[in-house]
Amino acid sequence: MEKYKPKKIEAKWQKEWLVKKIYEPDIKKAKKPFYNLMMFPYPSAEGLHIGNMYAFVGSDIYGRFKRMQGKNVFEPVGLDGFGIHSENYALKIGAHPMTQAKKSEKNFYRQLNIIGNGYAWNEHLETYDSEYYKWTEWIFLQMFKAGLAYRKNSPVNWCLSCKTVLADEQVISGKCERCDSEVIKKDLEQWFFKITKYAERLLKDLEKIDWSEKVKIAQKNWIGESTGAMIKFQLAKPDLASYQIEIFTTRPDTIFGATYLVLAPENKIIQDIKEKIENWNEVLKYINTAKNKSLEKRQINKEKTGAELKGIRAINPANNEELPIWISDYVLTGYGTGAIMAVPAHDTRDFEFAKKFNLPIKMVVCPNYPKPICPVLDEAYEGHGHLVASGNFTGMKSEEAKQKITEFLGSKTQKNYKLRDWLISRQRYWGPPIPLIFCNNCHKKLTEKSQITDSKKRLHFNKGELENPGWIAVPENDLPIKLPFIKNFRPTGTDKSPLASIKSFYETKCPKCGNKARRETDVSDTFLDSAWYYFRYIDVNNKKEIFNKNTAKKWLPVNMYIGGAEHSVLHLLYSRFLTKVLKDLKLINFNEPFTKFRAHGLIIKDGAKMSKSKGNVVNPDKYIKLFGADALRIYLMFLGPFSEGGDFRDEGIRGISRFLNRVWNLKISKFQIPNSKKNQKSNNQKLEKLLHQSIKKITDDIENLRYNTAISQLMILLNAFEEKAVATIEKTHFEIFLKILSPFAPFVTEELWRQLENKKSIHISDWPKYDVKKIKEEIFELVTQVNGKLRDVFKAPIGITEEKAREMALNSKKTQNALMGKTIKKIIFVPNKLINIVV
Ligand code: ANZ
Ligand code: ZN
């Protein structure tokens, strides 16, 4: 008999599976569709490392399991090869991203084949393929037409190393999500998607989806809903009386304790009233230093800084007191109104600021009412209590006063969100062009008053065009706007993409009026590519539409989505947003893209997360060559619970390889055909019981992604098969064993299964069911009687001795009560049934 040679059998089955297309569901006709998806990878030519493989294999095991349970599993794969990540890699190795992409793709797909995952290769897709990005552009157009894409000048995040703007979600603790370099603020005009319009829905619908809790919490915090009021403070100078400063507060109940206002340095009103600011030079200086600090830096910065707007005062609408106005970078632009009323007695940040600049601190919420002896504050009291020194509201509970004071000021309670709009344009080369054109002529028409109404009618401007005068949508028939091959693709470091110097690209005609016009030369953020790919997988060859509606109805939303938790507020939020937009565009009939999401753990190597930037990457190829993909798969899944990851130390793989060798040899040494039940009945019974217990446990474990414990059960089962007492193994038993091992080790199980003369692949066979009768624990209910009358019942092991049974019976309170004051005459014991005490 042959030895176990993983290399040989793995190559053989890889080929065979591709030819027989056993992992291709019938997309149109499938009766029990199950969309099993792994988060979109963005590999470079360095390819898959063990950490990536860990995630992919974990997702695949689940898919294989569902397939065997009778579902038509769709497990597509592709790659996100557009974007800064791939472009940076090309820059690093001195290649062109367009040629590099093809190399990376080839290597990546090769690796995906050898790890043994059951992919539906017919539906692969790559984001840099113009057949794909045509639809990414199309989505941009729909957003624009629906008024969900707009251009705005504002301070934005700028990565010094990537030389492009970044969305807020891409700035992690003040650093670039991609390259870890410092992010500063720049004033630029950029394209944004109105994700804030969906804040409430994004928050509410979290309740309806089955996702890892930590991811839901991260999204909730990022969306950051708070309830409060907008309150207007009039400026005090008679000639400034037409100016108002609007603030957002979650604590309107504390308004009588406001002792000054603070504006974000960027707040527009400062520029409007600068003539009246007596110390303008000092204020301007402060504004300029604040400008370049990233948002995170401002918040991390403990030492409060600021400048007073001298000569200007605001009137507190609650008591008409005049308050000084300051600017400080602890107030953020883009949140609320970019202005606050400072209540130092009840807000820690205000307290620190007041202490530093010697501003009054006035306590208005007292925790120990009705004895309004307010404690002397050495820190802000942020809790609730009763109002003091608050005019007519004095004595009222602060929670109640929130509503009452809001009404009294003629304002309304409202919700506010931390979430900001998605900055979508990038000053880079390697991405889908933004399908818009700027036309000077149309700009004029839409801004010169006399012409507006007339042109609007004549030229049928859409919502986006009306809201962004001069910007014209590319006609859908002209898509895709192909990204040209250009030699100098390096980021320029200015606010322009390298495409801005390619005349043949940007020179064009206005689709509305035919005049000379200029294409947008920024490209869109990669996160747009990956926010919708799961819609395209189901219909990759559709030339006419983004996807077929009926096919989408059948397959979506994704049933099981597995991926990294680091995308909690990036990819996972953008995808939810885009799905809601597609719903509103009536392309789909559901609100959430991923019904179930589970975050996988991370693979640690030498104490750090395995990643290219950490330089601790392990390439799976070497291990696959040595031990086979099956061994590596099991080794990885055995490291710990899938949701927690584990520490990669390669010593363990040998052990797993031995395990697979034992499985292989088992067949040789103990296999018996045909099914004969004559010998060793009791041993086989024991084995059968363990087998059925294992089916139950492993079914349950896989469903809950506890792959590590499923594997230990398989090991226990193998030990039992190998026991000396078991001389032979029944075919059906061994087949069951192979089936429950197959999601973990698809190759070796397929080989052994076929050697048993099965014609069809094990991977499309039925998942075994366990027999409840066979796993019943060997216990019975011991009935306890006194004079033939039932007094108590115990669970006892079958075969319990009379002595033990007697002890149990006599220890029972109920029996003791019945025996009270009586003498025992005799005890009758019926094995495995009852014990009767005669008195
Ligand atoms: C007065 C007040 C009194 C406040 C008090 C708090 C406690 P959330 O939404 O939970 O983060 N705030 C409002 N806009 C701000 C901005 N742009 N930058 C920095 N801080 C801002 O908290 C909202 C509270 O944060 C608001 O309520 C405001 O301070 C501050 F005893 O107003 B509060
Ligand atoms: Zn025009």
Average pLDDT for residues 680-700, to the nearest whole number? 85
Residue 675 pLDDT = 47
- 586 burial via Cβ count (<10 Å: 0-12, 13-18, 19+): exposed
Asked if pLDDT for residue 164 goes beyond 90, the answer is no
Pocket test of ligand 1: the residue of 154, 168, 246, 249 to mutate, having most ligand atoms within 8 Å of its CB, is 249
Asked if pLDDT for residue 292 goes beyond 90, the answer is no
* Ligand 1 atom 9: residue of nearest CA: 226
What does the alpha-carbon distance between residue 800 and residue 608 come to, in Å, rounded to a whole number?
Answer: 54
Query: Which of 319-323, 605-609, 622-626, 735-739 is predicted least confidently?
Result: 605-609
Whether a cis peptide bond, with omega within 30° of 0, leads into 498 is: no
**For the stretch 280-317, what's the b/e string if a residue is b when 16 or more beta carbons lie within 10 angstroms of its beta carbon?**
eeebeebbeebeebbbebbeeeeebbbbbbeebbbbbb
Stretch (H or E) spanning 804 = helix 802-811
330/458: higher pLDDT:
330
What does the alpha-carbon distance between residue 765 and residue 68 come to, in Å, rounded to a whole number?
Answer: 6
Asked if pLDDT for residue 300 goes beyond 60, the answer is no
Report DSSP state, residue 169: G
What does the alpha-carbon distance between residue 76 and residue 79 come to, in Å, rounded to a whole number?
Answer: 10
Q: Is 193 helix (H, G, I), strand (E, B) or coil?
A: strand
Average pLDDT for residues 219-245, to the nearest whole number? 93
Beta carbon of 402 within 6 Å of any ligand 1 atom: no
Residue 438 pLDDT = 97
Residue 760 pLDDT = 96
What does the alpha-carbon distance between residue 812 and residue 822 come to, in Å, rounded to a whole number?
Answer: 16
CB atoms within 10 A of CB 173: 10
Q: Which of 778, 747, 773 is nearest to 762 (CA)?
A: 747
Query: Which of 54-63, 114-123, 307-316, 682-691 is predicted least confidently?
Result: 682-691
Asked if pLDDT for residue 98 goes beyond 50, the answer is yes
Q: Is 248 helix (H, G, I), strand (E, B) or coil?
A: strand
What does the alpha-carbon distance between residue 292 and residue 165 come to, in Å, rounded to a whole number?
Answer: 13
Nearest atom within ligand 1 for CA of residue 330:
19
CA distances from 596 to 137, 184, 215, 444 (A): 28, 37, 12, 50
What does the alpha-carbon distance between residue 535 and residue 548 come to, in Å, rounded to a whole number?
Answer: 9
Average pLDDT for residues 520-541, to the nearest whole number? 97
Beta carbon of 284 within 6 Å of any ligand 1 atom: no
- Determine phi and psi for 233, rounding to 5 degrees: -115, 120
Average pLDDT for residues 575-604, to the nearest whole number? 97
Q: What is the CA(275)–ligand 2 centre distance, in A? A: 39
Residue 683 pLDDT = 64
Instruction: Give residue 414's pLDDT band: very low, low, confident or very high (50, 70, 90).
Output: very high
Average pLDDT for residues 559-563, to the nearest whole number? 97
Asked if pLDDT for residue 727 goes beyond 60, the answer is yes
Q: Which of 450, 559, 475, 467 is nearest to 36 (CA)?
A: 559
Q: What is the CA(632)–ligand 2 centre distance, in A? A: 60
Residue 173 pLDDT = 84
Query: Which of 206-210, 234-238, 288-292 is predicted least confidently?
Result: 288-292
Beta carbon of 347 within 6 Å of any ligand 1 atom: yes
Could you tell me what percent of the chain has a pLDDT over 90?
72
Asked if pLDDT for residue 297 goes beyond 60, the answer is no
Phi-psi label, residue 55: left if phi above 0, alpha if psi -120 to 50, beta otherwise: alpha
Query: Which of 42-46, 271-275, 472-476, 664-668 is predicted least confidently?
Result: 42-46
What does the alpha-carbon distance between residue 499 and residue 521 come to, in Å, rounded to a whole number?
Answer: 5
Q: Is the CA virtual torsion 564, 570, 573, 577 positive or negative? A: negative
Residues 67 and 763 sit within 8 Å (Cβ to Cβ): yes
Beta carbon of 420 within 6 Å of any ligand 1 atom: no
Query: Which of 339-343, 463-467, 675-679 is predicted least confidently?
Result: 675-679
What does the alpha-carbon distance between residue 275 and residue 277 come to, in Å, rounded to a whole number?
Answer: 6
Average pLDDT for residues 809-817, to the nearest whole number? 88
Instruction: Give residue 295's pLDDT band: very low, low, confident or very high (50, 70, 90).
Output: low
Q: Is 36 helix (H, G, I), strand (E, B) or coil?
A: strand
Asked if pLDDT for residue 335 goes beyond 90, the answer is no
At 496-505, the pLDDT tens digits run 999 999 999 9
Alpha-helix runs per DSSP H in 358-439: 398-408
Beta carbon of 295 within 6 Å of any ligand 1 atom: no
Alpha-helix runs per DSSP H in 745-801: 746-755, 772-775
Q: Which amino acid is present at 257?
A: G
Residues 348 and 237 sit within 8 Å (Cβ to Cβ): no
Token code pair at residue 216 = 């839901």
Stretch (H or E) spanning 354 = helix 348-357
Q: Which residues surround ligand 2, an ion (CB under 5 A)?
A: 439, 441-442, 510, 512-513
pTM as predicted: 0.86
CA angle, residues 318, 320, 324, in degrees to nearest 5 = 105
What does the alpha-carbon distance between residue 703 and residue 697 come to, in Å, rounded to a whole number?
Answer: 10
Token code pair at residue 174 = 């003040």
Asked if pLDDT for residue 420 goes beyond 80, the answer is yes
At 111-139, the pLDDT tens digits run 999 999 999 999 999 999 999 999 999 99
What does the alpha-carbon distance between residue 344 and residue 258 come to, in Å, rounded to a whole number?
Answer: 7
Token code pair at residue 489 = 């693709």
CB atoms within 10 A of CB 578: 22
At 760-780, the pLDDT tens digits run 999 999 999 998 888 876 778
Residue 611 pLDDT = 76
| Greatest distance between any 2 Cα atoms in the chain | 116
Over the chain, what is the mean pLDDT?
A: 91
